[in-house]
Amino acid sequence: MFPTSSAPESASASRREQARMLLHGIRIIQAPMAGATTPELAAAVSNAGGLGSLGVGGADPTRAGEQITRTAELTGRPFMVNFFAHVEPRSSAVVTQSWLRLLESEFAALEAAAPSTLRPIYASAATPGENTQRLVDVLVAARPTVVSFHFGLPAAGVIEQLHDAGILVLVTATTPDEARIVEQAGADAVIAQGCEAGGHRGVFDATPDGDADARASRGAQTLDLVAAVVQDVDLPVVAAGGLMNGVDVAHALSAGAVAAQLGTAFLLCPEAATASAHRERIREEVSRVRLSSMRSSSTRTELGRQQRAAIDPTAFTSAISGRPARGLRNRMHEIGARARTLGVRVPDYPLTYDAGKALAAAAAAHGDAASFAALWAGSEVGRAREMPAADLVHVLIAELERARG
């Protein structure tokens, strides 16, 4: 039998090294938060020496192309584009109607009609077909330096097509097992995302049930996850989740990461598309943490960490979208708790999001833009800083350099 060619393995090793060198040289990645990122934010971060990211989310080829083009007009440096790769939702009339009945009183109080059905409002790059191929065609034509996927792997053949176009591919993992799947799929680096992360973590299997939110809160913390993933895979590892300053980044690098991805840290940047009510809630939490720090010198001690955990303003809920996601507590967290008490199952992601967005819009029309909105934020949101994105990147790099001596 003739020996098999080592060319594919060599090409894979070369891409991994290319990814390692890129990420090692950048260190700071702005997380691709769908709904909050803009071409202006991504470009500002890249121009300042970080890796800016576009969170395009639901695989809309037209929107992706427009955002990539605009970002490329604003920066000549590398940037990343991110897409969702979730499993297609299972639709159940019983589950849908039970959920909508639970929300009827909320809509009625807002003088709005509850939806009669739920739509899968986001396409998935994991679904083979015309939409995903159009997306790949857009990416191959635009050739961003990096493309990443969240919630799982893209459809078969997508990674290979992106590689053929010279595009590096990253995939988020939340466990060592997921990281091994990412490695086997041929990705060039893995983003190890701990449970401190805001919004939806990139969990591969997030079928909602009565314990989904509790399980999410017990997930591996970022530094522990990074250390475990580094031991398990031969890929560059990016740390994500709860990282807010250069000292946090230094800790992540010491755990074995080659770079760190920060999301919540950028939500108060003027270039971000963070909604006004969302910004105000973050500012309130920043003020609360600062006041607490002034009152107690033990804030960063172990006791201080325990105290902060006890009054954590964020929590996981599946009630907004159908997947556990961490955000600032509001009425939607209460609805999720009531659903668990009543044994009402949350519909699959993104079906639930259809009702959640409708409820948030109805509330906003009545002057309440926060009670039902997706106020995604990480567990360390109180340490957010409000400044232009470029300034924040420069501060992070300076803090990192001081922390590493």
Per residue in 393-404, pLDDT (tens digit) is 999 999 999 999
Contact yes or no for 140/161 (Cβ under 8 A):
yes
What CATH class has 7-86+122-267+386-403?
alpha beta
User: H-helix or E-strand containing 391?
Assistant: helix 389-403
pLDDT digits (tens, 9 = 90+) for 293-311: 776 544 444 444 445 555 7
pLDDT at 146 over 90: yes
Q: What is the pLDDT of residue 294?
A: 74
pTM: 0.93
pLDDT digits (tens, 9 = 90+) for 156-214: 999 999 999 999 999 999 999 999 999 999 999 999 999 999 999 999 986 666 578 88
pLDDT at 332 over 90: yes
Residue 261 CB-half CA count within 13 A: 32
Q: Where are the domains of the chain?
A: 7-86+122-267+386-403
Spatial separation of the C-alpha atoms in residues 242 and 378, rounded to whole Å: 6
DSSP string covering 29-63:
EE---TTT--HHHHHHHHHTTSBEEEEEES--HHH
pLDDT digits (tens, 9 = 90+) for 83-101: 999 999 998 999 999 999 9
Averaged pLDDT of the chain: 93
Confidence of residue 218 (pLDDT cuts 50, 70, 90): confident
CA distances to 14, 59, 73, 130, 203 from 85, rounded to whole Å, are: 25, 8, 27, 15, 10
Q: Left (φ > 0), alpha (ψ -120 to 50) or beta: where does 315 sit?
A: beta
38 contacts: CB under 8 Å, gap ≥ 6: 271, 272, 273
DSSP string covering 150-215:
ESSPPSTTHHHHHHHTT-EEEEEESSHHHHHHHHHTT-SEEEEE-TT-SEE---S-----TTHHHH
CA distances to 19, 69, 127, 146, 375 from 143, rounded to whole Å, are: 15, 10, 21, 8, 32
**N- to C-terminal Cα separation, the chain:** 55
3-state class (DSSP) for residue 361? helix
Q: Nearest-CA neighbor of 260 among 65, 62, 24, 88?
A: 24
Q: What is the pLDDT of residue 5?
A: 42
Percent of the chain having pLDDT more than 70? Answer: 93
- Of residues 405 and 163, the one with the higher pLDDT is 163
Q: What is the pLDDT of residue 296?
A: 59
